[in-house]
Amino acid sequence: MKYGFFEDAKREYVITNPKTPVKWTNYVGTLAFGGIVDHTGGSLICKGDPALNRIVKYMPQLPSSEFKGEGMYIRIKQPDGYKIFSPFFVPTLDHYDKYECHVGLGYQRIVSEFYGIRTDVTIFVPPGENVVVRDIKVTNLGDELVELDVVPVVEFTHFDALKQYTNADWVPQTMTVDAEKNADGTVLLRQYAFMKKQYENNFFTSNVPVDSFETDRKVFLGDNEYGTWANPLELQEDHLSNIEARRGDTIAALLHKLGEVAPGETKRIVTQLGQDEPAKVTETSKKFRSLEAVDAAFAELGAFWDEYLSKNWIETPDAAFNSMVNIHNPRQCHTTMNWSRYLSLYQLGLGARGIGFRDSSQDVMGVLAGAPDEAKALMRRLISVQLPNGSAMHQFFPLTMEANEGDSREEGDKQWYGDDHLWIVQAVSAYVKETGDYAFLDEEITFYSKELPLAEREKGTVLEHLRRALEFTRTHTGKQGLPLLGFADWNDTVNLHGDAESVMIASLYGRALLEMIDLMEFLGDKTSARAYRANHAHMKKVVNEVAWDGEWYARYFEEDGTPIGSKENSEGQIYTNAQSWTVFSGFADEDRALQALESVNSKLNTPCGIKLSWPGYDGFDPAKGGVTTYPPGAKENGGIFLHSNPWVMIAETMVGNGDRAFQYYNQINPAAQNDTIERFECEPYCYPQNILGDEHPQFGLARNSWLSGTSSWTYQAAVKHILGLMPCHQGLEVNPCIPAEWDGFKATRKFRGTTYNIEVKNPDHVSKGVVSVTIDGEAIEGNVLPVFTDGKAHSTEVVMGVMVEEEQSQESQKMVLAEG
Ligand code: IFM
């Protein structure tokens, strides 16, 4: 790999060349406290809400060579002054002998060698704490004594992130830093916007004596800021100014004089950047001055990931698949569950965004095995912004739980998204299947109201919330009988006016109904099961009568009945989601499913992934909305919108095409981008949201890494559908759909307290079909592993093979489960 390599044994990706095509990032901490650290040490840290409580000024739009948020300088004393360099390469850009950024699970470790000095810095948020720790070790690799100074620096932002960018004079007029010198020589710098003085203070401190400090960027850079971050003029002085800034661009720089460092000798400094109530800051800042506390916290972080990843471990013949499924993909799922679409180098994180109802409902499904409690807590918050009529607010701010409808609309347009509420049905269903926590369905949660205070809001059980979600869609249909689009569905950018209708919402509704039928039958509520089955059959009929276009399903209908995503259209003739979801919902019978998926393959697939639609709209059309603001091939306008790719993989497994499902998996696997990384540009260890499609001159260029529903769905496609380890109400179903050439695979799956050591054998080289299952040597009926209460590990052998006719027909019946 040109820029680095995977080191699976340490669960890291190691970047060895700092000049990556764009900044490659990692996440530390959680939304409660944490943020992004880039591969050259820059950081963007927030507490609780990136828009409303941002700590560090990270400007992604500045060139990659610029100082962003946080950095560090090392000075080597020389007879004629100081040799100054950044061990993070940026912003001084010196020649390095070694550069390694270890992208770890919840930590970033940067190891570099410049001018005979090795610097090894581990950056992480101790679990549950409101500080970022930078554990800095500096080693003299040379043969002679060197006199070294270490100067870590943070640049603060106004807490209201958007206000900082407005450049209003009153922002710098409020920014303040106070300094406290401790008896042991350590220094604590407190920073706040004036109105936060009594409420929350940011702080920056270290665990060793400080020679001097700086808090005013203008003084640090020098020469009226004609000094630069690449060469801060104040660093040529023996001491920093010790100024406590009372306005302006506030920073925190601590000059540590390490004195003489002998050959081979290492010195260690720990810095903390945190936030707390003013009265607690002094006490809080003491905790990680202790090296033992730092080491223990880092071990605790590792233990969290050990536990999280231990729920599902696989060994297949494909190393890149193993690496993604065992480490990087579940890790990304945890990150998306945490941050929703709120903070990355590409997501807004500034103004009215918050946590997305649709997005987070999908994210939840990616973490259920490893983090069920976190998932449940997030679902409670999501459900609490569902409206009494069953639809949902589009997003909410996590600090205030204030919810809103999302993007602004033109007068007369609908105020709701047609799909949001349906995703939570799938999320809750997946949660109870994974955990067996059926009591959650009885938990009472309020419905949202803008007008009523919390105590006066209507309450309903979780199950009631799900029922109302389905009822909203059942009762909001248009002339064709399909669900109304509202302002938009999953595709935010197709904004049709009036009573437009959506085939994707119909299919989402169909899938949600299948989940409810299954649940009702398991709970013994036959009446509800029957009613939901009738609703499913009805919508299936409508979709097949109205939306089948000959070789694929149309995607939308305008109010006057004009189809979109039909061969009648010259642009936007075919849309991926109308094909995958009609299969996933059980609406497409086998012939149509195969035909629709063939059309996806022939019209939408590229070597870089499946496009969302084709051909792209070539010019702005207010009647279609946002999709036409992009050039053809970009984002939702015929770009390779990765989120939609796993849905096709899933659909392919449902028709038994394991080879194609795996081909689709591989072509978007970022870990397999070795040869194309120069055009791909993004991180190889996480999925991006989009890749430019083949109608665009920069076909293959990826953007918007990390926070994408691609993560949860690709993980689900891989584990539940390709490997076929599918939680169901009765136990763990094993029904793989793999490349026929595989001899099989092994998996360790911890499910509802039982550990299954599973070996799947594929002697006949089929893609799908289970002919026998044994547990601890005993054959069982069917392919659902029962839940054991003995807490022991159970070894399971699954043999794949050609199914006899009767078994096959049972299998295809499952595909259209609702008909049963
Ligand atoms: O489905 C949306 C998501 O909610 C936000 N990002 C874009 C996707 C497709 O429009």
Q: Check which CATH number belongs to the domain holding 191 and give it.
A: 2.70.98.40
For ligand 1, say whether the CB of 358 is within 6 Å of any of its atoms.
yes
C-alpha 746/C-alpha 731 separation (Å) is 19
Residue type, 717: A
Predicted pLDDT of residue 9: 95
Three-class SS of residue 35? strand
Q: For residue 547, is pLDDT > 90?
A: yes
Number of domains in the chain: 4
Least confident among 93-102, 165-174, 759-768: 165-174
C-alpha 243/C-alpha 467 separation (Å) is 62
> Mind listing the pLDDT tens digit for each residue in 237-254?
999 999 999 999 999 999
Q: With respect to residue 58, please indicate whether it lies within any of the assigned structural domains.
A: no
Q: For residue 812, is pLDDT > 60?
A: no
Interval between CA 492 and ligand 1 midpoint (Å): 6
Q: What is the mean pLDDT of residues 469-476?
A: 98
Predicted pLDDT of residue 6: 95
Residue 488 Cα: closest atom of ligand 1: 10
pLDDT band at residue 803, thresholds of 50, 70 and 90?
confident
For ligand 1, say whether the CB of 353 is within 6 Å of any of its atoms.
no
Q: Are residues 290 and 344 in the same domain?
A: no
Q: For residue 348, is pLDDT > 80?
A: no
pLDDT band at residue 398, thresholds of 50, 70 and 90?
confident
Q: For residue 285, is pLDDT > 60?
A: yes
Predicted pLDDT of residue 810: 56
> Mind listing the pLDDT tens digit for each residue in 484-521?
999 999 999 999 999 999 999 999 999 999 999 999 99
Q: For residue 676, is pLDDT > 50?
A: yes
Q: With respect to residue 503, please indicate whether it lies within any of the assigned structural domains.
A: yes
Predicted pLDDT of residue 808: 57
Which residue, 758, 735, 752, 738, is CA-closest to 787? Answer: 752
Least confident among 52-61, 146-155, 332-341, 347-356: 347-356
pLDDT band at residue 350, thresholds of 50, 70 and 90?
confident
Q: With respect to residue 104, please indicate whether it lies within any of the assigned structural domains.
A: yes
Which residue, 712, 715, 732, 736, is CA-closest to 724? Answer: 736
Q: With respect to residue 33, please indicate whether it lies within any of the assigned structural domains.
A: no
Q: With respect to residue 802, please indicate whether it lies within any of the assigned structural domains.
A: yes
Interval between CA 619 and ligand 1 midpoint (Å): 21
> Mind listing the pLDDT tens digit for each residue in 619-634?
999 999 999 999 999 9
Cα separation of the two ends of the chain: 51
Residue type, 586: G
Share of the chain above pLDDT 90, in %: 93
> Mind listing the pLDDT tens digit for each residue in 130-156?
999 999 999 999 999 999 999 999 999
Residue 358 Cα: closest atom of ligand 1: 4
Q: For residue 673, is pLDDT > 90?
A: no
Q: Are residues 472 and 483 in the same domain?
A: no
Q: Are residues 498 and 447 in the same domain?
A: no
For ligand 1, say whether the CB of 420 is within 6 Å of any of its atoms.
no
Predicted pLDDT of residue 349: 75
Q: With respect to residue 367, please indicate whether it lies within any of the assigned structural domains.
A: yes
Range of the domain at 294: 70-306
C-alpha 794/C-alpha 788 separation (Å) is 9
For ligand 1, say whether the CB of 518 is within 6 Å of any of its atoms.
no
Q: Are residues 74 and 209 in the same domain?
A: yes
Helices (H), 42-110: none
For ligand 1, say whether the CB of 576 is within 6 Å of any of its atoms.
no
Q: For residue 820, is pLDDT > 50?
A: no
Q: What is the mean pLDDT of residues 529-554?
A: 98
Interval between CA 774 and ligand 1 midpoint (Å): 43
> Mind listing the pLDDT tens digit for each residue in 559-569?
999 999 999 99
C-alpha 706/C-alpha 347 separation (Å) is 10
Catalytic residues: 492
Residue 708 Cα: closest atom of ligand 1: 6
Q: For residue 1, is pLDDT > 90?
A: no
Pick from 452, 476, 500: which residue ends a domain? 476
- 386 DSSP 8-state letter: B
Q: Are residues 124 and 158 in the same domain?
A: yes
Q: CATH no. for residue 547?
A: 1.50.10.10
Predicted pLDDT of residue 791: 87
